[in-house]
Chains A and B, each alone.
Chain A
Amino acid sequence: MATIDFKNVQKRYGQFKAIHDFNLHVGEGELCVFVGPSGCGKSTILKMLAGLEETTSGSIEIGGRDVTDLGPGKRDIAMVFQNYALYPHMSVRSNIGFGLKMRGVPKADIDKAVNEAAEILELTDYLDRRPRALSGGQRQRVALGRAIVREPSAFLMDEPLSNLDAKLRTQTRSEIVKLQKRLGVTTIYVTHDQVEALTMATRIVVMRGGVIQQVGSPDELFSQPANLFVAGFIGSPGMNFFRGPVEIENGKAFTRFGEQRIPLGQVPQKLTAKEAIFGIRPEHLQVGETGVPVTLSLVESLGTEKILHFATPKGQETDAIETEIVSDEDARDKKTMLARVIDDRRYHDGETIRIALPEGKVHIFDTVTHEAIV
């Protein structure tokens, strides 16, 4: 168990800056998830922490000890790889015990530790098999076994679940969380899947283009996204955005959505511009008697839950920031907004319904900096 500190860490590949000025403190026993779109530098920062990649500048500390220039074997960490990276020619037993063997631990102690780890991970029956004779989920557990058997001060996991099918992924996800709680080892978990991040993390670090966008608990990220990117990235489906004017009256702010005036509550201090980008989550839109009339272009039904698609009001589309929002589950058409409803009503394509935007649920973002205005 240990804390992990990144201090002004940077990484360059030639001219390309993969990581800009990375600062982060991870507390003891935390499960910290790094999330972001492909190529944002998650694996790079993890490899630097493991000592597999050189750090261009800055320093990394594990448990208060500066490890920036130490080799991977001397950092007292264990890593789980996306493709498991098991040694194909060794039995499961040797795979799990390999790290201990390399450290010169006596054979009897290795056997004991391996058996214990196998018990925790329910691998006892497979100890004498080769990795190729195991299923994907079992292989992943062997990789976990290899990590836990050494009792390191930190676990590093790089997308360990992305080779598993959806069901096994959900199952293994909760197994990892339970295991981590039980062992209490500081863990850094990398994923590009925001659902995984939200369900597993005690703290999430959202990254983009080598820069930290926001650090916070799943709740914080969901309810107070720091900028447009985080707002669009976290949540499924991601947040809806539209452009609108800012109107101020008696200390209250308003905008317009289609024909309707939308109250925004108290005027935020930083709100000075005439125009802003507004965001609202699909689950916060309310279907009812009042509200803006919209025509449904598509209805996706998942049983009681329905996703309603309708066009953003004319002139309020946010094409200009299209590249900004990279929701991973679908490349969404930016001229379409989504509402997520759970009710027993039937909706059909082409139907006109009324949509309301409740006060307090609308997020405001700067049109230029894309930062949240609060």
Chain B
Amino acid sequence: MIDFSSPKHRSKFGYMLLAPAVILMALIIIYPILLSVDISLQDVRIARVGGTQAPWTTKNYDWLINSEEFWNSIWVTARMVFFVGGTSLVIGLATALLVNQKFKGRALARLFVALPWAVPEVVATVIWAWMLDSSFGVINWLLLKAGFISEAIQFGSNATAAFFAVCFVMIWKGYPLVSIMLLAGLQSIPAEQYQAAKVDGASVWQRFFYVTLPNLAPVIGVTMVMTTLWVFRDFSIIYVLTQGGPIGATTTLSMLTFEQAFSFFRMGQGAAVGVVTMIICAIISRALVGRFAKSVH
């Protein structure tokens, strides 16, 4: 019998306690990943688990490299990540700075800033889909009334309009999280640092630049990783608004995965897109997290 309280064996006991959780996690996380890698290496249309295994081939990846759709969706995803990420950061930071000030009704303002985050994604998107509708949507009506446009914008068939409509809803849905995280970051900056900077003669902008931003850098990094991954993965907003159209203008990698696997029933190709997406996400988060973590230490 091993005495687990002895210093020599203590760590073994820890591993033993961890083991069930680790094994469970491995099954839940690793298995689907392995499965999709496996499928991506088979030339199958509808994959059946437990059926006869098709021989491994790189056919799906060959298709990937040479397909215009794939490169288009990478391009769409990249633009969307930059646009949504950048805009959410700016709006999130601005609102966080705003509700970090002392003023009457601050609690209410904070609630309003966080509100879009609390609305379920599909519900929010359906509402926006109505509002953006070209014949009876309120957005077009407002723009027409105000005289900004002379005829209704066709969010369903105009590629640029569709792209920005999707981005807009993503930003609307995504900035509150950025704002909440940055607000938490702002509150953890010691007041004395601002006081010291004031005594040192720093102006408002200089204090923002030399005190606020550097102190927020780690939070900004983490938030950007989360937003990036969210845009990469998001499916419901695009699916409800545009189904990836028109002519692929809003087909991101996750839309492409879905299309290949469940619209065209080419699960092998869909899985290949999914695997590539996963690898890109892993690289991005590793790079960003490492980068910003370093800037603090």
A: which residues have CB within 8 A of B?
47, 50-52, 71-74, 77-79, 81-83, 85-90, 98-99, 102-103, 132, 146, 150
Contact B193–A52 (Cβ < 8 Å): no
Contact B210–A87 (Cβ < 8 Å): yes
Q: Does B211 contact A (CB under 8 A)?
A: yes
| Cross-interface CB contact of B198 among A73, A86, A146, cutoff 8 Å | A73
For residue B191, which residue of chain A has the nearest CB? A85
Contact B199–A89 (Cβ < 8 Å): no
Q: Does B190 contact A (CB under 8 A)?
A: yes
Decide yes or no: A78 and B199 within 8 Å by CB, A83-B190, A87-B193, A102-B206 being known contacts: yes
Contact A102–B196 (Cβ < 8 Å): no
- Hey, which chain A residues are within 8 Å of B210, CB to CB? 87, 90, 98
CB distance from B233 to the nearest CB of A (A): 32
- Hey, which chain A residues are within 8 Å of B196, CB to CB? 79, 81, 85-87, 146
- Hey, which chain A residues are within 8 Å of B215, CB to CB? 88-89
Question: How far is A98 from B211 in the complex, measured between Cα atoms in Å?
Answer: 11
Decide yes or no: A79 and B201 within 8 Å by CB, A87-B211, A98-B210 being known contacts: no
Interface string of B167-195 (1 = CB under 8 A from A): 00000000000000000000000101101
- Hey, which chain B residues are within 8 Å of A51, CB to CB? 198-199
Decide yes or no: A72 and B198 within 8 Å by CB, A89-B214, A89-B215, A89-B296 being known contacts: yes
Contact B211–A52 (Cβ < 8 Å): no
Contact A50–B214 (Cβ < 8 Å): no
Q: Does B236 contact A (CB under 8 A)?
A: no
- Hey, which chain A residues are within 8 Å of B214, CB to CB? 87-90
- Hey, which chain A residues are within 8 Å of B193, CB to CB? 85, 87
- Hey, which chain A residues are within 8 Å of B159, CB to CB? none
Question: How far is A47 from B214 in the complex, measured between Cα atoms in Å?
Answer: 25
- Hey, which chain A residues are within 8 Å of B199, CB to CB? 50-52, 72-73, 77-79, 99
CB distance from B213 to the nearest CB of A (A): 9
CB distance from B102 to the nearest CB of A (A): 13
Question: How far is A51 from B217 in the complex, measured between Cα atoms in Å?
Answer: 29
- Hey, which chain B residues are within 8 Å of A72, CB to CB? 195, 198-199, 201
Q: How many residues of B contact A (CB 8 A)?
A: 21
Q: Does B200 contact A (CB under 8 A)?
A: yes
| Cross-interface CB contact of B200 among A47, A52, A89, A98, cutoff 8 Å | A98
Contact A73–B201 (Cβ < 8 Å): yes
- Hey, which chain A residues are within 8 Å of B217, CB to CB? 89
CB distance from B215 to the nearest CB of A (A): 7
Question: How far is A88 from B197 in the complex, measured between Cα atoms in Å?
Answer: 13
| Cross-interface CB contact of B201 among A82, A88, A99, cutoff 8 Å | A99
For residue B213, which residue of chain A has the nearest CB? A89
CB distance from B290 to the nearest CB of A (A): 17
Q: Does B78 contact A (CB under 8 A)?
A: no
Question: How far is A82 from B297 in the complex, measured between Cα atoms in Å?
Answer: 23
Among B190, B192, B214: residue with most chain A CB under 10 A: B192
Contact A146–B296 (Cβ < 8 Å): no
Contact A79–B211 (Cβ < 8 Å): no
Question: How far is A77 from B198 in the complex, measured between Cα atoms in Å?
Answer: 11
Question: How far is A99 from B202 in the complex, measured between Cα atoms in Å?
Answer: 8
Contact B195–A52 (Cβ < 8 Å): yes
Contact A85–B200 (Cβ < 8 Å): no
Contact B295–A79 (Cβ < 8 Å): no
Question: How far is A85 from B198 in the complex, measured between Cα atoms in Å?
Answer: 12
CB distance from B5 to the nearest CB of A (A): 36
CB distance from B207 to the nearest CB of A (A): 9
Contact B202–A85 (Cβ < 8 Å): no
6 interchain pairs, CB-CB under 8 A = A52-B199, A71-B198, A79-B199, A82-B192, A102-B201, A146-B196
Decide yes or no: A73 and B195 within 8 Å by CB, A87-B214, A89-B214 being known contacts: no
Contact B201–A81 (Cβ < 8 Å): no
